[in-house]
Amino acid sequence: MRDQIFSKEIDLVDFTFDAQVADVFDDMVRRSVPGYQTLIEMVGLLAKTYSQNNTNYYDLGASTGAVSLALGLNSPHKNNRVIAIDNSIDMVKKCKLNLNDKVTNFDVICSDINDICFENASIVVLNLTLQFVIPGQRQALINKIHQGLNSGGILVVSEKIHFNDKQKQVEITKLHLDFKRANGYSELEIATKRQSIENVLITDNKQTHFERFKTAGFSQSICHFQCLNFASFLAVK
Ligand SMILES: C[S@@+](CC[C@H](N)C(=O)[O-])C[C@H]1O[C@@H](n2cnc3c(N)ncnc32)[C@H](O)[C@@H]1O
pLDDT in tens, 180-199: 999 997 777 777 778 778 88
Task: Spell out a b/e string for 107-125, using b for 16 or more CB atoms within 10 Å of the CB, else e.
Answer: ebbeeebeebebeebbbbb
pLDDT in tens, 139-163: 999 999 999 999 999 999 999 999 9
On the question of pLDDT at 206 being above 90, the answer is yes
What pLDDT was estimated at residue 196? 79
State in Å: Cα 19 to ligand 1 middle: 13
Asked whether 17 lines ligand 1 (CB < 6 A), one says yes
- The DSSP code for 161 is B
Contact present, 24 and 3 (Cβ < 8 Å): yes
- 3-class DSSP assignment, residue 73: helix
The Cα–Cα gap between 126 and 161 comes to 14
What pLDDT was estimated at residue 153? 98
The residue contributing the CA closest to ligand 1 atom 12 is 61
On the question of pLDDT at 169 being above 70, the answer is yes
What pLDDT was estimated at residue 175? 97
- Say which residue, 23 or 70, is predicted with more confidence: 70
Total number of domains constituting the chain = 1
The proportion of the chain whose per-residue pLDDT surpasses 70, expressed as a percent, equals 96
What pLDDT was estimated at residue 195? 79
Asked whether 98 lines ligand 1 (CB < 6 A), one says no
Which amino acid, residue 28? Answer: M
Band (12; pLDDT cuts 50, 70, 90): low
State in Å: Cα 63 to ligand 1 middle: 6
Q: 156: domain range?
A: 1-237
> Which atom of ligand 1 is nearest to 63's Cα?
27
Asked whether 32 lines ligand 1 (CB < 6 A), one says no
Per-residue CA distances from 237 to 5, 46, 146, 148, 214 (Å): 40, 14, 7, 10, 10
State in Å: Cα 126 to ligand 1 middle: 8
CATH of the domain at 226: 3.40.50.150
Asked whether 29 lines ligand 1 (CB < 6 A), one says yes
Helix (H) or strand (E) holding 28: helix 19-32
The Cα–Cα gap between 143 and 12 comes to 35
C-alpha gyration radius of the chain = 17
The Cα–Cα gap between 119 and 147 comes to 8
Band (129; pLDDT cuts 50, 70, 90): very high
State in Å: Cα 167 to ligand 1 middle: 30
Asked whether 112 lines ligand 1 (CB < 6 A), one says yes
Contact present, 59 and 81 (Cβ < 8 Å): no
Asked whether 150 lines ligand 1 (CB < 6 A), one says no
The residue contributing the CA closest to ligand 1 atom 13 is 61
What pLDDT was estimated at residue 11? 65
